[in-house]
Structure 1
Amino acid sequence: MIQGSIVALVTPMDESGSIDQVSLKKLVEFHIEQGTDSIVAVGTTGESATLDEEEHCEVIAAIVGYAAGRIPIIAGTGANSTSEALELTRRAKAAGADACLLVTPYYNKPTQEGLYLHHKAIAEAVDIPQILYNVPGRTAVDMLPETIARLSVIKNIVGVKEATGKLERYTQIRNLCGDDFALYSGDDATSCEFCLLGGNGTITVTGNVAPRLVHEMINAAMDGDRETALAIDAKLTGLHKHLFIQSNPIPVKWALAELGLIKKGIRLPLTWLTEECYETVRAAMCQAEVIE
């Protein structure tokens, strides 16, 4: 079971929007040095919505290669078309990914039965560990705990990233699915409490900017050390909030550029962080002690 601080990595680009492989390699090394436990390649934060299929698979393969087995790599392979998600998952397995993260189909608003059949079809077609991803704020569909429980009995569906921010969902899913099914927080603001309840880690945006602190906070929470976990989390509250001051990954890419880790690059329809937000994000970075 992959556990701990799992960073939903940005996809670095230059100002023309081309993928910046030099910065991508730098980011992977940075996270390994800082103690990040695992990386998600080409999830929402990695701009999966604006990468074409070839680019999507190229970035996954590159991250797998740069990591070289030192930490597990989870490939984002979800789509609102079952056939597309299945193909991305096949290609991620071929590239050497350790697991796949599959967001619920977005925009077309499937029923709970549709969600079940979608994920069941992919799991049965591709023999790789698969993590469900429920984020109704982006997809307009909420995968209910009962549907997650139905899917949890499929042997290679191994966990869920639960991004509603509702802590009661942890208890509902854990009671239905048991201790062998991994539960990951997909909401940075509640990830500390989620892991104090017994969660297996977080798939984090904040961890892009403050990887060492998020790693230490999540490990303390998973160990049941509430005092330490909450003390570290207090330093991260500004990032948890203000890395979403505009749509993710706009603020986190700006923050990483400020740290000199990536160039100023993002793809339309996303735009660079507007200037009036600079000081707010910068103050959050100071609070987390990643800049002075």
Structure 2
Amino acid sequence: MKKAWIAALALGVSLLANVGMAKEAPVKDAEFLPKYDYTLVGSFEVKGRQGVCTDGEFYYVSGSKALYKYDKKGNLLQTNETPFEGYSIPSNHIGDIDVLDGEIFVSAENFMDGVGKDIQIAIHDAKTLKLKRTFRFEPSSGQEEVSGITVDPDKRSVWMCSWVGEESGRYLYEYSLDSGKFLRKVHLQPVPQWVQGVFYWKGNLYLTADDGTADLEEPDHLYRVNITDKSYASVVQEKTFTEVKKQGEIEGLTMDPKTGELLVHFNRGARIVLGMGKGLYPGYDREISEVYRYKMTPHAAK
């Protein structure tokens, strides 16, 4: 009897040890790991405070009420400070932008104190920065604000994101690039807070989220969305931006098709409340907008 009890006790210890080992070395699913590691290459100051995109030849930057064109050394080449000329619905705010085949895709709206309305999808000429045409926005989508826009050239679709929380900010919204027709909305799971920019890259969508509290020096984040044909998509944290000069407000993003670099737009110095500037932090006499450049290398699972 004693021997049987000792054998049973030994078996139990062995099983517990195996369970402990399993907890120490879990099986990792690559779908839920970062795809890339990001190494800071450099940064340069820009005029616009909202977004950035590139066709590999030039950098295009959006301000709330302006569009700018830079060469790849960071020199300002062209400015359009009246970008809303020709819009069928009055707008006062541009979010993040994208560029494809010589056209800049602009996410525009009327925005004040955290509330957006009159969303528009505007197409500008990359040479002149002037308006060419607009897309029809679909109000029944449930989108209440637009903070960014990107083009998926593989599926020929356009995606928009929403900074406003609750229902509007839980989804990404897809339109047909060719017809402009609203296609669907995709539920983000889990939902990042305060999404600022969206960009399509090699089968995935990437989001920037202003989810760090600047007053507490909390960093913002980059997320990857694993898009499928389903009505929902898993969201993975790709990067925490701890290396910026000062924690502030993350904005739009893009990938350079020529260099493979990630470009991320940041603002620092201004105190932002409900999306609006409310004074400056100590040590600043103006808000500073910068584009950070990162080298991307495939992430090696450990």
Work out whether the TM-score is over 0.5. Answer: no
TM-score, normalising length: structure 1: 0.31
- Which structure has more helix as a fraction of its residues? 1
- Which structure has more strand as a fraction of its residues? 2
